[in-house]
Structure 1
Amino acid sequence: MALKLSPSSKDLPVSNEERLKLYDKMSRDLYEHGALFLKHGETSQSLLLSDLFDVKNGSVTPSLKAANPPVRANVLHLSTEYSRPIALVIFGLVIWFQNSEFYHFSMLHASNHILPVPASEEEIEAEVDAVKSVADQLCPMKILLDRVILTSTGVLLGCWQVISGTDPVNIRSLLRKCLPRAPEKQLYAPVILHTSFARILGHPKHSSEETDVESELQHFHELVARLNNRIHGTKATISELWYVEEYDLLALALDGKMKIRRFPFRCLKA
């Protein structure tokens, strides 16, 4: 499949403005809804935290569950050249850290756990070839970390802007064209460019039953402020598109079983 793509997108200024509005809204989530993760509520993907993690004596381990059929995700990978220097070190919290080798930006799911699309081996290989054709035409993306936010579901997210390269909206559009069987409803907004750094699962370890909600929220706000002071403005380059079969739910986030096909951006003209 021949897909035409310009090295840089004229739509970047518009999309960057839309991303700013989206990130501003996401930043208000914790203020408006509180720390729902302390009540062991749902994740942003309609999964219960208690179904995904086991917490004992402040130690967190993933509770891996098979994905049937496997989730098929297309993600941009953040190289360890950039991910390791920004990998978080946080003390005093019940927390699960994303493996810095798998920092990624979800683009489009060919199948997800909410709207599964079964596929034969031949259909999967056809999807792989189509995704590679997209990567062949992408040029390296230069990005900048706009901010770190903490969502009401407990996820510490890095929210990024694009300095140059193809707009994520266009990448998702290209993937949509080459994966026509993919679920119409996707998990994320078309403009978003975000990666999960960690997930907070419980109260600060120094808190007691008498600690009031406002004090705990202030603790989390101060944590986010410290993280932003440390890594806000970090620049990185994205140069790989991955096609990932996740045999466990959220395998990329939880170090589960998965199969990764890596495609470097080749910047070829159609």
Structure 2
Amino acid sequence: MATKAPSWCTRFRSPASAVWFLPAAVFILLLLLLRRPTMDPYAPAAPRSPVSSRRADLYGRMARDLDERGAAFLKGGETSQSLTLSDLFDIRDGAVVPRLKAADPPVRANVLYLDPVFAAEIAKAVKEVFLPYFDKAIWFQNSSMYHFSMFHASHHLEPILATKDEIEAEVDAVKRVTEAACPLKISLDRVVLTATGVLLGLWQVESGTDPADIRSKLREALPRAPQKQLYDPVLLHTSFARILGPPKLPQQVARHNTTFSVAIFCI
């Protein structure tokens, strides 16, 4: 029996849904969010592709968001979904609980899910770093739901209604895009806190089909999708947590500090 020649890349076939999964080949330079490997200051910098440079510039702007806009989440400011924090969360028995609402019309999104093994390690580090300071004023994303939003066939700003047959056709179109894509090997570039209180992991791409290329292919595959997407095409981010209130410092630290500044943790 003839055998098919191996492909130039390892392809990951998605299940019959519009949700994608990152394979276990995902590479994470986590180091507990706070440690950076020793680097030779005289070593030449690795050349960056135009997309990687654009992504790095975007991450720099996102890292400055809190300083430039201030902590809007302390004032009940709007979130990235044009909702207030009170629209999204309740405080019950001293714990932050999300207010679950059915989207009407439903959002149709293509996302990459992070491998649960790596997600659990990140979630553990995030809780160890932030829980002592924020206690009841922080909501941690379920690590089983760590994902990267890629492309929306319909979103809250521009709902695109679809019949069951049209949705099935969208799923088939997305599957064809995934079959031509290579798995992503990524590294955690930095973790930032935004002005709206979202703790984000920002990632760089080491190899595989770049998110910008994936989104371009999805644009071709889903012509009815909203022209204005929710994210910059080069962005690759994960929401780790959302902070809803000011920190609670340990007493021994509070005696020596009268103000608190939120740190931007980088790898």
Q: Same fold (TM over 0.5)?
A: yes
Cα distance, 1:138 vs structure 2: 1.3
CA distance in 1, matches of 2:183, 2:90: 39
1:107-256 correspondence runs (5 A): 107-206=150-249, 215-216=259-260, 218=261, 220-221=262-263, 224-225=264-265, 228=266, 232=267
Aligned match for 2:148, one of 68, 85, 105: 105
Checking the alignment, whether the CA contact within 8 Å between 1:157 and 1:195 is kept in structure 2 is: yes
Cα distance, 1:45 vs structure 2: 2.2
For 1:139-197, what per-residue CA distance to the aligned partner results, in whole angstroms no more than 9, with x for missing partners?
A: 11100100000000000100000000111110000111111110000110011011100
2:43 paired residue number: none
Letter in 1 for 2:211: P
Are residue 61 (structure 1) and residue 97 (structure 2) matched? yes
CA distance in 2, matches of 1:195, 1:170: 19
- Farther-moved stretch of structure 1 (180-189 vs 46-55): 46-55
SS of equivalent to 1:169:
helix
Letter in 2 for 1:115: E
Q: Which runs of 5+ in 1 are unaligned?
A: 1-5, 208-213, 233-270
SS of equivalent to 1:182:
coil
Scaled by the length of structure 1, the TM-score of the pair is 0.74
Are residue 33 (structure 1) and residue 76 (structure 2) matched? no
Scaled by the length of structure 2, the TM-score of the pair is 0.75
1:88-99 correspondence runs (5 A): 88-89=126-127, 90-91=130-131, 92-93=133-134, 94-99=137-142
Identity %: 59
For 1:16-53, what per-residue CA distance to the aligned partner results, in whole angstroms no more than 9, with x for missing partners?
A: 10011000000001111111101111111212111010
CA distance in 1, matches of 2:244, 2:106: 26
More strand by share: 1
1:50 paired residue number: 86
For 1:232-253, what per-residue CA distance to the aligned partner results, in whole angstroms no more than 9, with x for missing partners?
A: 2xxxxxxxxxxxxxxxxxxxxx
2:109 paired residue number: 73
Over 3 Å off, 4+ runs: none
CA distance in 1, matches of 2:9, 2:159: 33
Checking the alignment, whether the CA contact within 8 Å between 1:58 and 1:205 is kept in structure 2 is: no
SS of equivalent to 2:186:
strand
RMSD: 2.3
Checking the alignment, whether the CA contact within 8 Å between 1:35 and 1:154 is kept in structure 2 is: yes
Checking the alignment, whether the CA contact within 8 Å between 1:169 and 1:190 is kept in structure 2 is: yes
Cα distance, 1:56 vs structure 2: 4.2
Q: Which has the larger radius of gyration?
A: 2
Letter in 2 for 1:96: W
Letter in 1 for 2:121: P
SS of equivalent to 1:197:
strand
What is the count of residue pairs matched by the alignment?
Answer: 212
